[in-house]
Amino acid sequence: MGNTLLTNARIVLDDAVIHGTLHLQDGRIADITDGATTVAGAEDCAGDLLIPGLIELHTDNLERHMQPRPKVDWPHMAAILAHDGELASTGITTVFDAMRVGSVVSASRTRYGKYARSLAGELLEARRAGMLRISHFLHLRAEICSETLLEELEEFGAADRVGILSLMDHTPGQRQFRDISKFKDYVCGKHGLSDAEFAEHVANLTGLRDSLGARHEAGAVQAARRLGAVLASHDDTTADHVTTSAGHGVRLAEFPTTVEAAEACHAAQIAVMMGAPNLIRGGSHSGNVAAEDLAKLNLLDILSSDYVPSSLLLAAFRLADLWEDLPRGIASVTRAPAEAAGLQDRGRLAPGLLGDVVRVAHIEGQPVIRGVWSHGRRVA
């Protein structure tokens, strides 16, 4: 991992930006000092910013590489390596790869099978073999409205690096798809269903929620405890949803859909995460609350790139401009997600922490990555 000196840089600390030098040694941050150095071999950052490596808690990007087009399945290991390289290039040095657990196998046009256990095994093997550039953990998306959730969860154990387990309830007519027309657009666009087939699909999912939902939800909460994973809620819409989440021990709320839910999360000391694409686009593609509105109300804590890895850094700088506070904006993609996930060895630039660092130039309002180090090793 060697010895790296990054000098003549603007270093973003917890609550200040200093001009100085950052020293990486043996995979860790060895020292941070004021001013530049003329030591031979030091990399002159020419006044660029140094920030902690970005931490991504929820991304569907790996699934996109697995199926680059509808009905096109790509070899998993090739997809894992492409995903890993893409994230490294965008400044992400720690990722919680989202994988669905819970399948529907009895439907005809809308069935979907399990894949998480085999994919997780391949990801962990790539890590053991030293094939990956950045740190990978698992994020299990527990689909409450499914047929096989509990059986699939049983296939995971303590050795699987499951860092987050989120409770997903995509039953039509509530939460993310409270507007049933948005759900119809999504499903019919994906599967080409007729009106009659869509009505049958909705009835099937509603029936699953009615018959299995309570047992699945309780089992998923128990699985999170067994795996030592942070429990997250997903698409909380009402204060009652948040009350239920808090009762389960939820510490992270992914993409609450209303101001009411975000306010209830903060009252319950649950961190609020919103999508960076929502912030960049100026609103939710599902018609839910805008991330910018929550940011202006000081109800946004963490950003996730969700389905666009490059959005994470750009959105952090958007928040920094909105809040007029660069360290606070950067913390939404570094320190805050690290704290929510229980990672104490990263997310900040401080001696002794992991050498996860990103060099960023700010050119005409656009953050441009000049270098990425993961565990002290340059990866981009």
pLDDT digits (tens, 9 = 90+) for 74-107: 999 999 999 999 999 999 999 999 999 998 877 6
Give the sign of the dihedral formed by CA 245, CA 247, CA 250, CA 252: positive
Its pTM stands at 0.91
Whole-angstrom distance, CA of residue 380 vs CA of residue 368 = 12
pLDDT digits (tens, 9 = 90+) for 343-368: 999 999 999 999 999 999 999 989 99
Find the farthest-apart pair of alpha carbons in the chain and give their distance in angstroms, rounded. 73
pLDDT digits (tens, 9 = 90+) for 299-316: 999 999 999 999 999 999
335-364 burial: b if 16+ Cβ within 10 Å, else e: bbbbbbbebeebbbbeeebbbbbbbbeeee
The rounded average pLDDT for each run of 10 residues, N- to C-terminus, in the chain (380 residues) is 91 98 98 95 97 97 91 94 98 97 73 87 97 98 91 96 92 61 62 68 71 88 97 95 96 96 98 97 85 98 96 98 98 98 98 98 95 98
State how beta strands 3-12 and 252-254 pair. Answer: unpaired
Go through the domains of the chain in sequence order and give each one's CATH number: 1-52+346-380 (2.30.40.10), 54-342 (3.20.20.140)
